[in-house]
């Protein structure tokens, strides 16, 4: 199984700050198969970025993604209060589909 | 608007069975692969099963293979998860999700249904 190592496990950021989360895969993944989700407290997960860099419908432009091979990143250019959530990367390249352990974003 | 509504969760004893359902609306159900993803309390996400559009192909991780069965009824726009020989480690919120096969991402999620396995 492809293991996804997400870091950091938690971030405390100020509003307006730029934050970046990395996701490193144990084997190379096609960029088509690396995705990011946002899960707000008490809610179900929501797709934010698919295929490395494409924003899902309705997702603000402050969210972006990049990467290739085994190294991917997710960035919020200017954090807003509504972005408080846990973020997960996921690979769909091979079964079993796997998720990173999550990065919890909190506001300072 | 895409809607996925899970049901069937509850408290069940170890070794017993439970069947979850997911009612889909707002899209042509028969055109999409569907999946179940679970989340243990205070833990991360774990993929549980995926089914093809016709139901002829199913996929599972080793953790549930042989115990869980995913199925669908396209006439009823419904997805199911039959869970047998339940273990305490199966305790989780189970989410139904629509799959985008271009990259195997989970495009839409339901609200989830909680399964608690305990004596």
- Tell me, yes or no, if B2 comes closer than 8 A to chain A by beta carbon: no
- Asked if the Cβ–Cβ distance from A96 to B104 is below 8 Å, we say no
Mutate one of A40, A56, A92 to test the B interface: name it (highest B CB count within 10 A).
Answer: A92
CA A36, B110, B43: angle at the middle one, nearest 5? 55
Report CA Rg, chain B: 13
Determine the pLDDT at residue A56.
Answer: 97
Instruction: Tell me if A95 and B59 make a contact (CB, 8 A cut-off).
Output: yes
Residue A61 CA, distance from chain mean position: 14
Residue B110: what pLDDT?
98
Query: What residue ranges of chain A have pLDDT lower than 70?
Result: none
Residues in chain B with CB shorter than 8 Å from the CB of A50 are 100, 103, 105, 107
- pLDDT for residue A32: 95
Q: Where are the beta strands (DSSP E) in chain B?
A: 3-7, 10-12, 18-25, 34-39, 45-51, 58-59, 68-73, 78-83, 92-100, 105-109, 113-117
How many CB atoms are closer than 10 A to CB A86? 20
Regions of chain B with pLDDT less than 70: none
Q: Which of residues 38-97 of B touch A (CB under 8 A)?
A: 44-47, 50, 59, 61-62, 95
Burial status of residue B119 (CB atoms within 10 A of its CB: 0-12, 13-18, 19 or more): exposed
Residue B24: is it exposed, middle or buried by C-beta count within 10 angstroms (0-12/13-18/19+)?
Answer: buried
Handedness of CA B71, B3, B43, A104 (dihedral sign): positive
């Amino acid at each position: 199984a492809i293991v996804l190592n997400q870091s950091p496990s938690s971030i405390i950021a100020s509003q307006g700050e730029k934050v970046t989360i990395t996701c490193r895969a144990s084997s190379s993944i096609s960029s088509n198969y690396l995705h990011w989700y946002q899960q707000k407290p008490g809610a179900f997960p929501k797709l934010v970025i698919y295929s490395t860099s494409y924003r899902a419908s309705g997702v603000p432009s402050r969210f972006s993604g990049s990467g290739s091979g085994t190294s991917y990143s997710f960035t919020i250019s200017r954090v807003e209060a509504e972005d408080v959530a846990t973020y997960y990367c996921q690979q769909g390249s091979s079964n079993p589909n796997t998720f990173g352990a999550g990065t919890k974003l909190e506001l300072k | 608007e895409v809607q996925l509504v899970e049901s069937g969760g509850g408290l069940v004893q170890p070794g017993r069975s439970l069947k979850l359902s997911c009612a889909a609306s707002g899209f042509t159900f028969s055109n999409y692969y569907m999946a179940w993803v679970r989340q243990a309390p205070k833990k991360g996400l774990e993929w549980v099963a995926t089914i093809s559009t016709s139901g002829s192909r199913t996929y599972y991780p080793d953790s549930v293979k042989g115990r869980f069965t995913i199925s669908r009824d396209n006439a009823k726009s419904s997805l199911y998860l039959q869970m047998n020989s339940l273990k305490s480690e199966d305790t989780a919120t189970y989410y139904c999700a629509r799959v985008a096969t271009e990259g195997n991402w989970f495009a839409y999620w339901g609200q989830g249904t909680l399964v608690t396995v305990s004596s």
